[in-house]
Amino acid sequence: MTVLNIVQAVNHTLRDEMKRNDKIVLLGEDVGVNGGVFRATEGLFQEFGPNRVIDTPLAESGIIGVSIGMALYGLKPVPEIQFLDFIYPGFDQIQSELAKFRYRSGGQFTVPVVIRTPYGGGIRGSHYHSQSTEAFFVHTPGLKVVIPATPYDTKGLLTAALRDPDPVMFLEPKKIYRTVRGDVPDDDYMVPIGKANVARDGEDVTVFAYGAMLHVAMEAVELAAAKGINVEVVDLRTLLPFDIDTILSSVKKTGRVVIVHEACKTCGFGAEIAAQIAERALLQLKAPIVRVAGFDVPFPYVLEDEYMPNANRVLNAIEKVHNF
């Protein structure tokens, strides 16, 4: 067991899997000699060489397109897009090609690409380095979308993604890259893609969260406990496919729901969770569902703290549904 932060867990997992599978190839801007802008690939170029850790031009469409070609010819490419905000030149490759190859080929081809990219605010990156647009990819059939919140889950989920035969978007919450630390087993293990985690048991209210917002939710839960409200927290971990069974089980237990994410509220992933609950468990609800999210504006620089959900905003939502 080793204590790691999230970026270290990424690095350790990539190293372990590259040793296990010589088909894994890393590519992206500055991932090689410099070890990545967040140092997630530090040391891997020196260990595995330029044929397996490839510095690319600043061309996201090319990075994704080349990765698709590599995968079709038997490799396991792991492209890094430095920030989710800059993935859109490659979005057509992801949406039109990567996500659809298994279907358009009648199952003859799979494209086992794992796209790693940091997302979200919290680093004073302003609007070009802070966005949370995970819903775009959840809306694309054929992809899996994974967002870890702890070092343990980072290793387990990334290992599962690197062994998956289909394309995976692996979004890393950069706000907590180094601030969240935890025990990570040295042994080989996987966290199943598509399985949520009940991070805290409770009876009165359920809070659904993922990524950095899990830790905001946990802080709010402590504030709620001081007021006598017993809150359950569910870390979704995977947005596509998401764990509807765990979601409904918690809703039926508490009857009150708060959903937290830092993406814009309108058409954010929380809207899908709310719709699924309304379709499947409406009669178990004791109060309207409340979403705590970013605002429907471009991500602000000066007002970053006001834009991102915090513990007090989540606490207000918990109290609202509890007192309804």
Q: Is the pLDDT of residue 125 over 80?
A: no
In a domain, 192, yes or no: no
75: domain CATH number? 3.40.50.970
- Is the distance from CB of 51 to CB of 88 less than 8 angstroms? no
- Residue 297 has a pLDDT of 93
Eight-state DSSP code of residue 74: T
Q: Does residue 95 lie in a domain region?
A: yes
Q: State pTM to two decimals.
A: 0.96
Let me know if residue 243 belongs to a domain.
yes
- In the chain, % helix, strand, coil (3-state, to 5) comes to 40, 20, 40
Alpha-helical (H) ranges within the chain are 6-20, 44-48, 60-72, 91-92, 101-104, 134-138, 151-162, 213-225, 244-254, 269-281, 304-307, 311-322
CATH number at residue 256: 3.40.50.920
DSSP character string of 270-303? HHHHHHHHHHHHGGG-SS--EEEEE-SSPPPSTT
pLDDT in tens, 97-112: 999 999 999 999 999 9
What is the pLDDT at residue 130? 84
Which of 162, 184, 206 delimits the end of a domain? 184
In this structure, the answer to whether residues 35 and 134 fall within a common structural domain is: yes
Q: Is the pLDDT of residue 123 over 80?
A: no
Residue 3 has pLDDT above 90, yes or no: yes
Across the range 283-289, mean pLDDT stands at: 97
Mean pLDDT of 61-65: 96
Mean pLDDT of 252-280: 97
**126 pLDDT tier (thresholds 50, 70, 90):** confident
Task: Catalogue the active-site residues.
Answer: 129
Tokens representing residue 144 in the block: 């899996």
Tokens matching residue 284: 């178990």
Instruction: Give the pairing of strands 168-173 and 114-119.
Output: parallel
Q: What residue numbers bound the domain in which 281 lies?
A: 197-322
pLDDT cut 70: percent of the chain above it: 100
> What confidence score (pLDDT) does residue 128 get?
86
In terms of domains, do 203 and 290 share one?
A: yes
Helix (H, G, I), strand (E, B) or coil at 185: coil
Local confidence band at 67 (pLDDT 50, 70, 90 cut-offs): very high
Token pair 């939710």 in the structure block, residue: 217
In a domain? residue 160: yes
